[in-house]
Structures are given as C-alpha cells and as structure tokens.
A and B are shown apart, each in its own frame.
Chain A
C-alpha cells in the first residue's frame, strides 16, 4: 500500500472536455469572481486619483476612456459581471432547493443572456472610437 501511485491533479485539468454543466458553472463563477476582485483594486486606484483634485481625476478618466483597449476591456468586464450576477441568482435558487432539476438549463440560460447583454452593450462602449 505504501507504494501506491497518486495520479495528482494534472489529469483533472486535462479532463476539462468531460466537465458537466454544473462544473463549468462553478469554474466560471470562481473565475469571474476573481476578475471582479481584481477590477475592484483598479477601480479604487482610479477613484483615488480624486484625492489629488478634480483635474487629475478627470484627466485620468478621459485618458483611459480614449484608449481602445480600455473600452474593449469594459465590454469584457460587463460580461464578467453579468455572468457572475446571473449565476449568483441561479445558485440562490439551488440553495433554496428550487429548480434543481433544471440546474444545467439555468446555467445555459445565464450564458445566453450574458452573451446577449454583452453584444447589446458593444455600441455603447465602443461609440466614438
């Protein structure tokens, strides 16, 4: 027994193709959660430029908004936030024992809705580029 072989985690990540809906929902939820935490720091950093006075704050904001990459990232941020919210609602129902049978369908619905909202937001975010 002492010589038994531990296959470790590497294969588990290699098995992504076999993940089910619930597993993907979990992976995405964790991922979007971390992205949102990361964004929080950026957000606070930008806001804190207001300490140095309104001019710097306005400059920072305008400077950032002028960059195409920032606007694209805003679209991404919206997608991340929307998915996290929708899946959060889905999890709330799961916690309450409502619609457990449809947990995979509600995950797909969250994905579709996230996609739709993100696409709809593109004109707003990228306007004036």
Chain B
C-alpha cells in the first residue's frame, strides 16, 4: 500500500506543476533550443576549421591601472593567440596572461560557470568568460569589464554595491524559520519546481550590469529581487518573514523600478527568467496591498 500512489493523488500532484511547466520552462526550452542550435553550428564550424590548422584569435582587451603611468588612461590591448578547439574566452585570457603580459588582471575561479567571478562584457554583452566559446564570437573578440561598475584594474570591477544590494534582501532563511532538533523541513514538489530556476543564481552580477535602471541608482536590481523571489515563494518561509520580505521589495527601490527591458533575462548565464520573477512579485505586491479577497 505504501509503495502505491493512489491514482487521484498522483494526478493532483502532477496537476499543479503542469501549469508552471507551461509557463516557466517554456522560456527554458526556448533557451535550450537556442543553445543546441549554437552547439550544432559550432560543431559544423569546427569541422570545417580543422582543415586549416594554424588559427589565431584576435583579442582586444580593456586595460586600465591607476597605479601605472602608461595604463592610467584606459586603452585596448591586442593579443593574437593560437586557437584551440573548445577554447573559451577565459582560456584565451589566461593564455594571454601566461604568454604575453603577466600584469593582465581578471577574476576567475571555478572555470565551469559555478562561481560567477568571471562575468565580463564580451562583444557587447555580459557573459561568463568560462562559459563563452571563442568560436561563437565574431573576430576580434572585444573583452571589457562589466559596465556600470567602477573599474579597479583591467577587467576587475568593484562589486561592493552589487553585494550590498544582494544583502539588502536577506538572502537566507532566518533562524526563526529553521526547525529545532531533527525535524524535517518539507517542501512540496510543486513548490520546488516553482522556485527551481530562481535558486540557480551564482551572483555573477551580469544581469544588474546589463540594467540601465540599476545603473547609478539604488534600485535593488534583478539579481537581488530574484533572490527575494527565491525565498518569498518558498513554502518553508514563515508568513511573518514573508511579509517582511515583501515590505523590502515593495519599497521605492524595489520591484516597481523594473521597466521590463528584459536585458537581465537576456544575459543571465543561468537562464533565470528574471523579468518574469520580478513581474510576479509586482503582482503579489499589488494583491497583498489591495486585499479585495
């Protein structure tokens, strides 16, 4: 009996996610299809390229260093490096640093799109260096630090403000919500599905850098609001804390500043439907304030 799920129950279980699946993963599927298309193109190109073996990549890299006289005025340096199949922009940067200019400065760590430290402005879009194939890009590859943040040195920007905005939404469960002892914290499958995408954020800052509303002002920005969404929509958060979270995002600098440009959604390396989440929070905020029902 215990192994058998009654039909009506299994139906009701799959009933709800079906609806969310229609909405959220549709965006995901579209992105996956795009990725597949790109990888097919890449393979084709790699096949045709393997015939000409000595290939070089032309990098144009932003340079700036206030402490070095010759670099205190921002400029672009050119690097011509040998192309290898499967080479990412980060690989190309590392090659340039190791072989040509050891002072070239950039952040990276995991090299597998997990740590979020190497978000850069590559050929006009915010992307992760380690996730972007050189063969996907037009030549020359133009690499700049993330826009809208102050440049500290070469490709390194000051992320302080971004982290402050992330912290402003308290991106964690509070002690009060964590049951004491060995009590389980249950989350329904549907709820897990609902917040699944929002949990993927790696704090790379690409989205906030792409948003010109977030530039300069105090707008929380897509990443912080997505974090708020991740917790506000979680079953396991208590009503009182959820209410508090809503108060944070309903403030002047919260969700209302989003002007639905979709820039954040376009650049997020983790395919998080950011604009969708922001809009949903707007609706929730309206609902919680109107209380007609």
Contacts and interface: CB of A to CB of B under 8 A. Distances in A.
B147 A100 contact: no
B123 to A, nearest CB: 9
Interface in B128-157: 147-148, 150-152
A9 B133 CA distance: 29
Contact of B262 (A4, A7, A103): A103
Contacts of A18: 124-125
A80 interface: no
Interface string A1-43: 1011111010110010110111101100000000000000000
Interface stretch (A59-67, A89-97, A120-128): A89-97
A94 B212 CA distance: 19
Nearest to B276: A100
B27 A26 contact: no
Contacts of B283: 95-97
A84 to B, nearest CB: 15
Given A11-B147, A94-B279, A95-B279, A20 B26 contact: no
Contacts of B262: 20-23, 103-104
B151 A5 contact: yes
Size class of the B contact interface (CB-based, 8 Å): 20 to 34
Q: Determine which residue in A22, A25, A104 has the highest number of CB atoms from chain B within 10 A of its CB, and name it.
A: A22
Interface in A63-106: 91, 94-97, 100-101, 103-104
Q: Determine which residue in B27, B152, B212, B262 has the highest number of CB atoms from chain A within 10 A of its CB, and name it.
A: B262
A12 B147 contact: yes
A26 B261 contact: yes
A26 B260 contact: yes
B82 interface: no
B64 A5 contact: yes
B26 A7 contact: no
Interface string B103-114: 000000000000
B67 A100 contact: no
13 contacts: A5-B66, A5-B74, A7-B74, A7-B147, A18-B124, A21-B262, A26-B261, A94-B260, A96-B283, A97-B23, A100-B275, A101-B27, A101-B30
Interface of B: 23, 26-27, 30, 64, 66-67, 74, 124-125, 147-148, 150-152, 158, 212, 215, 259-263, 266, 273, 275-276, 279-280, 282-283
Interface of A: 1, 3-7, 9, 11-12, 15, 17-18, 20-23, 25-26, 91, 94-97, 100-101, 103-104
